[in-house]
């Protein structure tokens, strides 16, 4: 069997952010609660002229060359912030990036988990189509509402990954531990733009699901905790990933070692939760910022999507991976962001598109190259 995995990865987040201490002061909360208790420093904010489509196109653009365009015949778009109940968001991206006309396009949903399901589906697909590449995009806007407990754990961003049978960044391994269960810890009915969440319960379900997934992964693979050099967890806020690693270390009777997760958390501390994209922003952070040479090292991953599905899986980093990272692109994306005041953030947050389908032009606040320019006759317009 050929090796299959991640060949390239780029993430994108919009050009606006707020500082968590500013939000804390505006909400009458001790800033340490957000920066230490939740482990978040900055939160990306979605402007009125961006959405999951523009973020996705921005993330994928640097990966699209004439060669990849020719080889991508499957585009998997993972999101829980869908902009249409019928049409896959990936079709707008397919158009914006001028992808191959015979490329299959589909959207996948299961809270923050669906990008991982897409990764495993692409794994099987590439075994049968080893000369092709798959474009996997995860793009989300995390919204809980102003003045809610979840507000400091919002954020937004997209990740684009090229998957192939000769991966340069991560070779996926056989054996996963998967758990699905019907729980109401977090959900978003189709008539709402903000999630409904039982916050404390959701953190408990996350940790219990981790433990069950690990157990089933351990049994299936025969691998032990010590066989993994680093761990990447889904990051709704960075303190949650630390708690996950504390839980797993304890279960394995191994002393907690922050170094095993620290570099996964750095970008997310500056972005917030990007739902489906969070785990893979964490992977980019680890590969780009960890001083340890990760060549031939195994990474353990825990993907969690409320509702819930969890999966523990693993991958090995190929030699030479550092030549294929996007460090300078990502630094530019993070450093270019303008800091909004809290009233400015609230204005962006409450901006809505009309539901009667009449013509509307969005304010031109983002630099592009892709913008949601407006709506006309119920059709989203991109430029």
Nearest to 160 by CA among 248, 224, 110, 99: 99
Cα 248 to its chain centre, rounded Å, is 22
Among 11, 280, 302, 304, binds ligand HMG (CB under 6 A): 304
Q: Establish if 202 lies at the interface with ligand HMG (CB under 6 A).
A: yes
Q: What is the DSSP string of 119-158?
A: HHHHHHHHHH-TT-EEEEEEEEEE---TTSTTGGG-EEEE
> Helix, strand, or coil here: 12?
strand
Q: Is 200 exposed, middle or buried (0-12, 13-18, 19+ CB in 10 A)?
A: exposed
Is 30 or 227 the residue whose CB approaches ligand HMG more closely?
Answer: 30
Residue nearest to ligand HMG (CB): 37
Cα 119 to its chain centre, rounded Å, is 13
Q: For this structure, is 234 an active site residue? A: yes
Q: Which of 123, 234, 263, 330 is catalytic?
A: 234
Separation of alpha carbons 206 and 244, rounded Å: 8
Q: Is 149 exposed, middle or buried (0-12, 13-18, 19+ CB in 10 A)?
A: exposed
Q: What residues are paired with 16 via a beta bridge?
A: 338
Q: Which of 50, 94, 107, 112 is catalytic?
A: 112
Q: For ligand HMG, what does the binding mask look like between residues 122 and 161, x meaning CB under 6 A? A: ---------------------------xx-xx--------
Q: Establish if 302 lies at the interface with ligand HMG (CB under 6 A).
A: no
Q: Establish if 240 lies at the interface with ligand HMG (CB under 6 A).
A: yes
Subset of residues 180 to 199 that bind ligand HMG, contact rule: CB under 6 A: 186, 197, 199
Q: Establish if 275 lies at the interface with ligand HMG (CB under 6 A).
A: yes
> Computed from CA positions of residues 262, 267, 270, 274, in that sequence, does the dihedral angle turn out positive or negative?
negative
DSSP 228: -
> Helix, strand, or coil here: 108?
strand
Q: Establish if 236 lies at the interface with ligand HMG (CB under 6 A).
A: yes
Among 40, 79, 273, 314, binds ligand HMG (CB under 6 A): 273
φ/ψ of 204, rounded to 5, equals -70, -45
Q: Is 378 exposed, middle or buried (0-12, 13-18, 19+ CB in 10 A)?
A: exposed
Q: For ligand HMG, what does the binding mask look like between residues 34 and 53, x meaning CB under 6 A? A: --xxx---------------
Q: For ligand HMG, what does the binding mask look like between residues 110 and 129, x meaning CB under 6 A? A: -xx-----------------
Q: Establish if 218 lies at the interface with ligand HMG (CB under 6 A).
A: no
Is 149 or 254 the residue whose CB approaches ligand HMG more closely?
Answer: 149
Name the one range near ligand HMG by CB under 6 A: 251-259, 263-271, 304-312, 328-336: 304-312
Catalytic residues: 80, 112, 234
Contact footprint for ligand HMG (CB under 6 A): 30, 32-33, 36-38, 80, 111-112, 149-150, 152-153, 186, 197, 199-200, 202-203, 206, 234, 236-237, 240, 273, 275, 304-306
């Amino acid at each position: 069997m050929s090796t299959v995995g991640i060949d390239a990865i780029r993430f994108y987040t919009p050009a606006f952010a707020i500082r968590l201490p500013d939000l804390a002061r505006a909400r009458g909360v001790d800033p340490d609660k957000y920066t230490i208790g939740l482990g978040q420093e900055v939160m990306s904010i979605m402007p009125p002229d961006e959405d999951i489509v523009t973020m996705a196109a921005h993330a994928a653009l640097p990966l699209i060359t004439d060669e990849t365009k020719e080889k991508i015949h499957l585009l998997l778009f993972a999101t829980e912030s869908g902009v249409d109940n019928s049409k896959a968001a990936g079709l707008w991206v397919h158009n914006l990036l001028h992808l191959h006309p015979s490329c299959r396009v589909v959207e996948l949903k299961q809270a923050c988990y669906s990008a991982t399901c897409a990764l495993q589906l692409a794994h099987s697909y590439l075994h049968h189509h080893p000369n092709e590449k798959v474009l996997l995009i995860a793009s989300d806007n995390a919204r809980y509402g102003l003045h809610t407990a979840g507000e400091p754990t919002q954020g937004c961003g997209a990740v684009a990954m090229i998957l192939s049978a000769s991966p340069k960044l991560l070779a996926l391994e056989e054996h996963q531990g998967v758990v699905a269960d019907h729980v109401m810890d977090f959900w978003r009915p189709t008539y709402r733009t903000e999630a409904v969440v039982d916050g404390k319960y959701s953190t408990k379900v996350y940790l219990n699901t981790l433990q069950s997934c690990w157990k089933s992964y351990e049994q299936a693979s025969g691998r032990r905790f010590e066989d993994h050099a680093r761990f990447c967890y889904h990051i709704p806020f960075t303190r949650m990933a630390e708690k996950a690693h504390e839980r797993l270390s304890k279960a394995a009777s191994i002393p907690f070692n922050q170094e095993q997760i620290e570099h996964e958390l750095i970008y997310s501390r500056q972005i917030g939760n990007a739902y489906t994209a969070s785990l893979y922003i964490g992977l980019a952070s680890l590969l780009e910022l960890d001083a340890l040479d990760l060549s031939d090292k195994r990474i353990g991953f825990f993907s969690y999507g409320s509702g819930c599905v969890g999966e523990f899986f693993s991958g090995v980093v190929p030699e030479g991976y550092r030549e294929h990272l996007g460090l300078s692109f990502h630094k530019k994306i993070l450093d270019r962001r303008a800091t909004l005041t809290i009233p400015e953030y609230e204005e962006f947050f409450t901006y809505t598109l009309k539901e009667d389908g009449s013509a509307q032009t969005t304010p031109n606040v983002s630099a592009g190259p892709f913008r949601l320019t407006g709506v006309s006759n119920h059709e989203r317009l991109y430029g």
